[in-house]
Amino acid sequence: MFLITPIVNFFQNLLVFSWDFVLTIANILLPKLKVGHVVPAGHPGAGGKWPEYVPPKEGDSRCSCPALNALANHGILPHDGKNIKFNEFGPIIRKSYNFASTFCFFVPNTAANMLKKSYSKDTFDLAELDLHNGIEHDASLTREDSALVPDQGKPHLPFVRELLASATGKDKDGNALLTIKDLSAYSAKRRVDARKTNPNFSLSRSHKTFGSSNSSTLLTILGGRVADLETFLVEERLPEGWESRVRTRNGLTFGAFNVTVFKVEHGINEKAYEEKLAKEGGDAKTAEV
Ligand code: HEM
């Protein structure tokens, strides 16, 4: 039994990442989905028409992931955020956000393993995903560390506002865009600040990568558009008429996504942020990014 699980996991991962490679190549060759047709017909959100947004009520389960909370707030996942089947939620992510089927199997399956539950039989409540140093980790961009704020279900708005205010890009119509450089700079600030303010701070190499993966969705699926990000991160709502900015037929594969994740993680320079801080003579909380 002890030997079988790692062997099964090894072959499962080999299969997922081989298939991901095939999907990545197919995406390069196939024409993109037309604007306005990313969410498949018949699924909530098709043509940009998302079901009514209802903020969470007392007793509803929410987690540290804005994307999953948004689906619950629109009733695409159960509004109370409870009793979600692991194997039913991947296809919902696939259709709502246009992530590839590989991601939509791998992440929920990882979450099931992390919670020691069965991917094919069990259910979870959103708040269970906040198991510290499972997928949830310190130095997030939209949450205080769980040692300081145990309920991770709501965004920490000062961080969100600071992140969005740090956007330096512009699209061709002059709208504000968050860039890879902005995301790396704000991540460096959060890591330095969190290390100073959280006595229980920890951030392993794999959690650094998780962090950059989570935040890279803001540039890929959300396209870095600050106006959309504000609605998504502040209210955990999908903007009226919104659709994923990823229009490849098979959705966002690990192969394509990891290019952005690598650039974001590689660009995080905590030392440079600390040196800037020292020059300004300020403390970590007030220095500009
Ligand atoms: C497939 C199932 C998913 C699971 C199980 C999941 C889980 C999580 C968890 C546990 C966190 C907290 C990490 C932290 O401590 O910062 C998180 C953060 C986040 N996730 Fe998800 N997520 C999923 C899908 C998605 C999708 C599809 C998107 C984008 C459309 C997304 C966007 C984000 C963002 C932006 C954050 C916040 C990062 C931060 O605050 O630094 N997630 N997710």
Residue 124 is predicted with a pLDDT of 98
Q: How far is the CA of 214 from the centre of ligand 1 (A)?
A: 5
Q: Is the pLDDT of residue 282 over 90?
A: no
The token pair at 131 is 């198991």
Q: Is the pLDDT of residue 2 over 90?
A: no
Residue 222 in contact with residue 153, Cβ under 8 Å? no
Q: Which of 61, 68, 140, 237 to mutate to test the pocket of ligand 1 (most atoms within 8 A of CB)?
A: 68
Grouping H, G, I as helix, E, B as strand and the rest as coil, residue 285 is coil
pLDDT class of 4 with cuts at 50, 70, 90: confident
Q: Which of 39, 63, 64, 65 to mutate to test the pocket of ligand 1 (most atoms within 8 A of CB)?
A: 65
Q: What is the mean pLDDT of residues 9-28?
A: 96
Residue 149 in contact with residue 168, Cβ under 8 Å? no
Q: Is the pLDDT of residue 51 over 80?
A: yes
Q: Counting beta carbons within 10 angstroms of the beta carbon of residue 84, is it exposed (0 to 12), middle (13 to 18) or buried (19 or more)?
A: buried
**Ligand 1 in reach of 187 Cβ (< 6 A):** no
Residue 242 is predicted with a pLDDT of 98
Residue 127 in contact with residue 62, Cβ under 8 Å? yes
Q: Is the pLDDT of residue 38 over 80?
A: yes
Residue 178 in contact with residue 260, Cβ under 8 Å? no
Q: Is the pLDDT of residue 283 over 60?
A: no
Share of the chain above pLDDT 70, in %: 96
**Ligand 1 in reach of 141 Cβ (< 6 A):** yes
Return the CATH fold of 4-280: Chloroperoxidase (1.10.489)
Q: What are the residue boundaries of the structural domains of the chain, listed by start? A: 4-280
pLDDT tens track for 181-192: 999 999 999 999
Q: Which of 89, 117, 214 to mutate to test the pocket of ligand 1 (most atoms within 8 A of CB)?
A: 214
Report which protein residue has its CA nearest ligand 1's atom 9: 65
Q: What is the mean pLDDT of residues 71-95?
A: 98
Closest atom of ligand 1 to CA, residue 103? 1
**Ligand 1 in reach of 105 Cβ (< 6 A):** no
**Ligand 1 in reach of 214 Cβ (< 6 A):** yes
Closest atom of ligand 1 to CA, residue 130? 10
Q: How far is the CA of 275 from the centre of ligand 1 (A)?
A: 30
Residue 1 is predicted with a pLDDT of 54
Closest atom of ligand 1 to CA, residue 232? 35
pLDDT tens track for 206-252: 999 999 999 999 999 999 999 999 999 999 999 999 999 999 999 99
Share of the chain above pLDDT 90, in %: 93
Q: Is the pLDDT of residue 286 over 80?
A: no
Residue 281 is predicted with a pLDDT of 78
**Ligand 1 in reach of 68 Cβ (< 6 A):** yes
Grouping H, G, I as helix, E, B as strand and the rest as coil, residue 169 is strand
**Ligand 1 in reach of 246 Cβ (< 6 A):** no
**Ligand 1 in reach of 131 Cβ (< 6 A):** no
pLDDT tens track for 135-184: 999 999 999 999 999 999 999 999 999 999 999 999 999 999 999 999 99
pLDDT class of 16 with cuts at 50, 70, 90: very high
Q: How far is the CA of 144 from the centre of ligand 1 (A)?
A: 15
pLDDT class of 6 with cuts at 50, 70, 90: confident
**Ligand 1 in reach of 129 Cβ (< 6 A):** yes
Q: Counting beta carbons within 10 angstroms of the beta carbon of residue 75, is it exposed (0 to 12), middle (13 to 18) or buried (19 or more)?
A: middle
Q: Which of 36-50, 92-106, 271-285 is predicted least confidently? A: 271-285
**Ligand 1 in reach of 108 Cβ (< 6 A):** yes
HEC secondary structure over 234-272 = HHCCCCCCCCCCCCCCCCECHHHHHHHHHHHHHCCCHHH
Average pLDDT, the chain: 95
